[in-house]
Structure 1
Amino acid sequence: MPDVRMASPQGKWILLTTVLGSSMAMLDSTVVNVALPRIGEDLDANLSALQWTVNAYTLALAGLILLGGSLGDRYGRRKIFVIGVVWFAAASLLCGLAPNAGFLIAARTFQGIGGALLTPGSLALIQASFHPDDRARAVGLWSGFGGIGAAIGPFLGGWLVDGPGWRWVFLLNVPLALLCVPIALRHVPESGDGSKHGRFDVLGAALGALSLALVTYALIEARDGSLVIAVTAVAGVAAGIAFVYVEIRRPDPMMPLDIFASRQFTAVNLVTVCVYAALGGFFFLAALQLQVVSGYSALQAGTALLPTTVLMLLFSARSGALADKIGPRIPLTVGPLVSAAGLLLMLRVGPDASYVADVLPAVFVFGLGLVTLVAPLTATVLASVNVARAGLASGINNAAARAAGLIAVAALPLLAGMSEEAYRSPDAFDSAFGRAMLWCAGTLVVGSAIAFATVRTLPPDCRKPECLHHGSITSPPLEGVRSRSRLAGEGKGEGEG
Structure 2
Amino acid sequence: MSHSPVPTPGGGAVADDGTTRRPESSSTTTDGADGVITSERWGGSTWAALIVLCGALFLDGLDVSMVGMALPSIGGDLGLSAGTLQWIVSGYVLGYGGLLLLGGRAADLLGRRRVFLAALWIFAGASLLGAVVDDGTLLIVTRFIKGVAAAFTAPAGLSIITTKFAEGPARNRALSIYTATGASGFSLGLVFGGLLTEVGWRFTFLVPGPLAVLVALAAARFIAKDAPSEDSHGHYDLAGAATVTGSMLALVYTVVEAPMRGWGDPLTLIGFAASVGLMAAFVAIEQRTAHPLVRLGILRSKHITHANVTAFTVFGGYVGFQFIGTLYLQDAMGWSPIETALGFLPGGLLVAFGAPRAGALIDRIGTPRVILIGMSAFVVGYLLFLRAGSNPSFLSLMLPTMLLVGVGFALCFPSFNVQATNGIEDHEQGLASGLVNTSMQIGGAVVLALVTAVVSSRGGGEGTAGADGVLDALHPATLLVSGVALIGVLSTLAVLAPRLGRRREVAPAIGAD
Q: TM-score, normalised by structure 1?
A: 0.80
Q: What whole-Å deviation, never above 9, does each CA across 1:30-52 have from its counterpart, x for those lacking one?
A: 33333333334434444433432
Counterpart check, 1:224 vs 2:289: no
Partner of 1:72: 107
Structure 1 position 261, deviation (Å) = 1.6
Partner of 2:227: 192
Structure 1 position 172, deviation (Å) = 0.6
Matches within 5 A, 1:174-253: 174-186=209-221, 188-193=223-228, 195-197=230-232, 199-222=235-258, 223-225=260-262, 226-253=265-292
Distance 1:251 1:433, change over 3 A: farther
* SS at structure 2 position matched to 1:423: coil
Identity across matched positions, percent: 29
Amino acid at match of 2:346: P
Distance 1:78 1:385, change over 3 A: closer
Structure 1 position 293, deviation (Å) = 1.8
Structure 1 position 333, deviation (Å) = 3.5
* SS at structure 2 position matched to 1:78: helix
Which of 398, 402, 407 is equivalent to 2:437?
Answer: 398
CA RMSD of aligned residues (A): 3.5
Distance 1:394 1:130, change over 3 A: closer
Counterpart check, 1:105 vs 2:140: yes
Distance 1:89 1:289, change over 3 A: farther
Amino acid at match of 1:369: G
How many residues in Structure 1 have an aligned counterpart in Structure 2?
A: 457
Question: Aligned equivalents of 2:96 and 2:299: distance in 1?
Answer: 22
Counterpart check, 1:53 vs 2:88: yes
Which of 199, 212, 234 is equivalent to 1:164?
Answer: 199
Question: Aligned equivalents of 1:75 and 1:260: distance in 2?
Answer: 23
Distance 1:314 1:393, change over 3 A: same
Structure 1 position 449, deviation (Å) = 1.6
Question: Aligned equivalents of 1:51 and 1:204: distance in 2?
Answer: 30
Whether the 8 Å contact between 1:33 and 1:283 is mirrored in structure 2 is no
- Which runs of no fewer than 5 residues in structure 2 stay unpaired? 1-33, 501-513
Q: What whole-Å deviation, never above 9, does each CA across 1:240-266 have from its counterpart, x for those lacking one?
A: 222222233322222221112223322
Counterpart check, 1:282 vs 2:321: yes
Q: What whole-Å deviation, never above 9, does each CA across 1:137-181 have from its counterpart, x for those lacking one?
A: 8777655655543442221122112x2222222211121133233
Distance 1:441 1:258, change over 3 A: same
Partner of 1:445: 486
Whether the 8 Å contact between 1:96 and 1:171 is mirrored in structure 2 is yes
Question: Aligned equivalents of 1:54 and 1:15: distance in 2?
Answer: 28
Partner of 2:299: 260
Question: Aligned equivalents of 1:140 and 1:454: distance in 2?
Answer: 22
* SS at structure 1 position matched to 2:199: coil
- Which runs of no fewer than 5 residues in structure 1 stay unpaired? 460-497
Question: Aligned equivalents of 1:128 and 1:338: distance in 2?
Answer: 31
Q: What whole-Å deviation, never above 9, does each CA across 1:422-464 have from its counterpart, x for those lacking one?
A: 42622212322332111111111122122212346769xxxxx
* SS at structure 2 position matched to 1:295: coil
Whether the 8 Å contact between 2:250 and 2:275 is mirrored in structure 1 is yes
Whether the 8 Å contact between 2:93 and 2:445 is mirrored in structure 1 is yes
Question: Aligned equivalents of 1:390 and 1:442: distance in 2?
Answer: 31
Counterpart check, 1:434 vs 2:469: no
Amino acid at match of 1:454: V
Q: TM-score, normalised by structure 2?
A: 0.77
Whether the 8 Å contact between 1:21 and 1:180 is mirrored in structure 2 is yes
Whether the 8 Å contact between 1:46 and 1:421 is mirrored in structure 2 is no
**Residue range with higher mean Cα deviation, 169-178 or 203-212:** 203-212
Question: Aligned equivalents of 2:85 and 2:496: distance in 1?
Answer: 37
Partner of 1:491: none
Partner of 2:10: none
Distance 1:453 1:299, change over 3 A: same
Structure 1 position 96, deviation (Å) = 2.5
Whether the 8 Å contact between 1:155 and 1:299 is mirrored in structure 2 is yes
Q: Who wins on radius of gyration, i.e. which is larger? A: 2
Question: Aligned equivalents of 2:271 and 2:427: distance in 1?
Answer: 39
Amino acid at match of 1:314: F
Which of 73, 76, 80 is equivalent to 1:38?
Answer: 73
Partner of 1:149: 185
Whether the 8 Å contact between 1:14 and 1:126 is mirrored in structure 2 is no
Whether the 8 Å contact between 1:327 and 1:458 is mirrored in structure 2 is no
